[in-house]
Amino acid sequence: MKLHAIEDRHPSRAHDKRAGDAWDIYRLLIDCDGDNAVRGALAGVAPNFRGLVRDGAGRILVSGAGRTRGWLQAGGEEMAAVTADELRLVGEQLVSAL
């Protein structure tokens, strides 16, 4: 849901909300996917849904890592510390698993 929401935010409040969305996506993958739990769960869903997640993760975390890092800059100091390379790494792991 966050992968979809981050791209569809209304422009008037998009920057602040996108920072939170990006942070939630990143932390979910960092905190909950260390043992492949997220990727494993997604492996069992319908192929069209996996494709949507794969495409969204590719846009937000891999090819759009620089843009997503910019959104994180609008968040707190901890959010702003996440690098584009860190976003790409978690994104590539997710995309390759799907």
* 3-state secondary structure labels for all residues of the chain: CHHHHHHCCCCCCHHHHHHHHHHHHHHHHHHHCCCCHHHHHHHCCCHHHHHHHHHHHHHHHHHCHHHHHHHHCCCCHHHHCCCHHHHHHHHHHHHHHC
Question: What is the spatial distance between Cα 69 and Cα 22, in angstroms, rounded to a whole number?
Answer: 8
| Assigned domain for 56 exists | yes
Instruction: Name the residue range of residue 79's domain.
Output: 19-29+38-97
Among 30-39, 57-66, 72-81, where is mean pLDDT lowest?
30-39
| Assigned domain for 66 exists | yes
Answer yes or no: pTM beyond 0.95.
no
| Assigned domain for 2 exists | no
| Assigned domain for 14 exists | no
| Assigned domain for 63 exists | yes
Structural contact between residues 90 and 65, judged by C-beta atoms closer than 8 angstroms: no
| Assigned domain for 10 exists | no
| Assigned domain for 81 exists | yes
Question: What is the spatial distance between Cα 36 and Cα 94, in angstroms, rounded to a whole number?
Answer: 9
* Reported confidence tier of residue 24, pLDDT bands at 50, 70, 90: very high
Please check the confidence at residue 13 and state whether its pLDDT lies above 70. Answer: no
What pLDDT shows up at residue 12? 63
| Assigned domain for 70 exists | yes
Ranked by mean pLDDT, which of 3-7, 24-28, 35-39 comes out on top?
24-28
* Reported confidence tier of residue 14, pLDDT bands at 50, 70, 90: low
State how many domains the chain has: 1
